[in-house]
Every structure is written in structure tokens, then in C-alpha cells.
Amino acid sequence: MKLKRENLSMAGEYSVASEICRRNFYAQVTLGHLKRTDILVYNPESGKVIRVEVKAKQGKEWPGIKGINDNASLLVFVDFENKKDDERPDFYIVNAEDWKDFIQKYVIYNDKFDKLIDGYIPQWKDGYKGAGVRPHQIVQHKERWDKMVRLLS
């Protein structure tokens, strides 16, 4: 069943929050109250807090991704494509360095690329901001929850 856009976003955020809690960290879903922050993650043992931005999809790509540039944040892509209701989605965990690598590999050399805004947001010659991301482009980040654990340790 195809999810409505607002339900897709919420399903992604709560799926990520569940995975965070499964790793014994505290996850607070912000419900859209903080810019570029969908979940605040807290490690009570270290006292560290990180921000997580979640992008969910059920089609071929995540459209209009603006990325991250904060070393204390993560961007988590949630893939519901071809998943049944009782199947877990796929998760891809990307940090700021990973996003820079993605930009270098898939964006900078595209003939339609214009410039980077603030050093990390792709802008195209037609004025469009953001990049489409497909699972095969970020497959090396699948299930890389260790990145979150390192940031919170």
C-alpha cells in the first residue's frame, strides 16, 4: 500500500527512533519543531546529544536532499520501497563526511550542476536545490549504526 506523504515521513522518523532505542539511546522525535532536526538522540552515559535528520522514501529515490555539514549530526535514509507491512525498512546512515563524498562522486561533475550553497547544498543551473539520492549510491552506508554509536560515546 502506498503511504501518504505525511505518513511516510512519520513512519520514517518513528522507524529510526525505534532503531535508536534498540541501541539503548534515548530518542526524542521533534515532530517538525526544529529545523533540519527530526530526532534528538541522547546518551545518558556520556551526556552527549546528536541531531538526526530523517528522509523516507517508497519510490526509486529520495528527491531534493540538501545534505548535512554538521559533524554532530547524521542523515538517515529510510527505504520502504517494495517492503510489506511486516517487513523492516532499510536504513542508510550518512554523516557530513559521507555527504561530501556523495557530492564529489555524484553531483559536482554533472553538467547541470551550478554551485554548492553553504558548501554542501547542491544547486542546479535551473535553480533547483538538493540532489536525488538512490540506494545504490549510498549502499556502503547501509545499517551503519556504528556511526551514531561513535558520535555518542
Lowest mean pLDDT of 27-41, 56-70, 72-86, 127-141, name the range.
27-41
For residue 31, name the pLDDT band (cuts at 50, 70, 90).
confident
Q: Using CA atoms, how far apart are residues 95 and 45, in angstroms rounded to an integer?
A: 22
Q: Using CA atoms, how far apart are residues 43 and 62, in angstroms rounded to an integer?
A: 29
What confidence tens digit (pLDDT) does each residue in 79-102 have? 999 999 999 999 999 999 999 999
| CB burial readout 56-68, b (16+ within 10 A) else e | bbbeeebeebbbb
Domain ranges of the chain: 5-95+132-152
For residue 8, name the pLDDT band (cuts at 50, 70, 90).
very high
What share of the chain in percent tops pLDDT 90?
Answer: 92
CATH among 2.40.37.10, 2.70.170.10, 3.30.1280.10, 3.40.1350.10 for 5-95+132-152 = 3.40.1350.10
For residue 6, name the pLDDT band (cuts at 50, 70, 90).
confident
Q: Using CA atoms, how far apart are residues 58 and 126, in angstroms rounded to an integer?
A: 26
Overall average pLDDT of the 6-22 stretch: 96
What share of the chain in percent tops pLDDT 70?
Answer: 99
Model pLDDT, residue 44: 97
Model pLDDT, residue 1: 72
Model pLDDT, residue 123: 96
* pTM, rounded to two decimals: 0.95
Overall average pLDDT of the 136-150 stretch: 98
For residue 2, name the pLDDT band (cuts at 50, 70, 90).
confident
Strand ranges, E, within the chain: 26-34, 37-42, 49-57, 62-65, 73-79, 90-94, 113-117, 121-124, 131-133
